[in-house]
């Protein structure tokens, strides 16, 4: 399957990265990892790219790591549509001190606007 994994440096996005890379290794997915701007993230995009490349290398899979600038939600939806992706994978949300899950604005936009299936990784 042709999979687009969008990550911006939040904890849940790294969980999504690890899980998607793991799955790609066994399912032979055609995986692209898009490193997007997430203003809520404390990790710089360059560091996120490095972590993504390290994960891909460790899993010994052939996946592209791409830096995507601009509005993250609309860029992901646009890339998925124009390049024929079948699925978008994102982090599954932030957990509050109480244990409540809140879905970030990127995931919310993608969920409502994508034509592909969207997977939120918990």
The closest of 10, 98, 21 to 52, measured between CA atoms, is: 21
Report, in Å, the least distance between residue 56 CB and another protein: 30
Distance CA 115, CA 122 (A): 22
Smaller CB distance to another protein: residue 26 or 97?
97
Q: Is 88:72 a contact under the CB 8 Å cutoff? A: no
Query: Under the criterion CB under 8 A, does residue 99 sit at the interface with another protein?
Result: yes
Query: Under the criterion CB under 8 A, does residue 96 sit at the interface with another protein?
Result: yes
Q: Considering only residues 11, 102, 115, 117, which one is a binding residue for another protein as defined by CB under 8 A?
A: 102
> φ, ψ for residue 120 (rounded to 5)?
-105, 120
Q: Considering only residues 18, 108, 113, 119, which one is a binding residue for another protein as defined by CB under 8 A?
A: 108
Instruction: Candidates 13-21, 53-61, 83-91, 100-108: pick the segment binding another protein (CB under 8 A).
Output: 100-108
The closest of 117, 115, 91 to 102, measured between CA atoms, is: 91
Query: Residue 88: how many CB atoms within 10 A of its CB?
Result: 24
User: Which residues are near another protein by CB under 8 A?
Assistant: 40, 94-103, 105, 108
């Amino acid at each position: 399957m042709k999979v687009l994994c969008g990550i911006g440096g939040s904890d849940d996005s790294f969980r999504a990265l690890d899980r998607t890379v793991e799955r790609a290794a066994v399912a032979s997915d055609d995986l692209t990892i898009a490193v997007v701007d997430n203003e809520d993230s404390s990790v710089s995009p360059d560091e996120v790219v490095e972590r993504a490349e390290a994960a891909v290398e460790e899993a010994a899979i052939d996946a592209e790591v791409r830096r995507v600038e601009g509005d993250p939600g609309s860029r992901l939806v646009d890339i998925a549509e124009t390049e024929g992706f079948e699925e978008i994978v994102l982090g599954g949300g932030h957990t509050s001190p109480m244990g409540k899950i809140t879905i970030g604005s990127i995931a919310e936009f993608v969920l409502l606007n994508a034509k592909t299936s969207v997977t939120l990784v918990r």
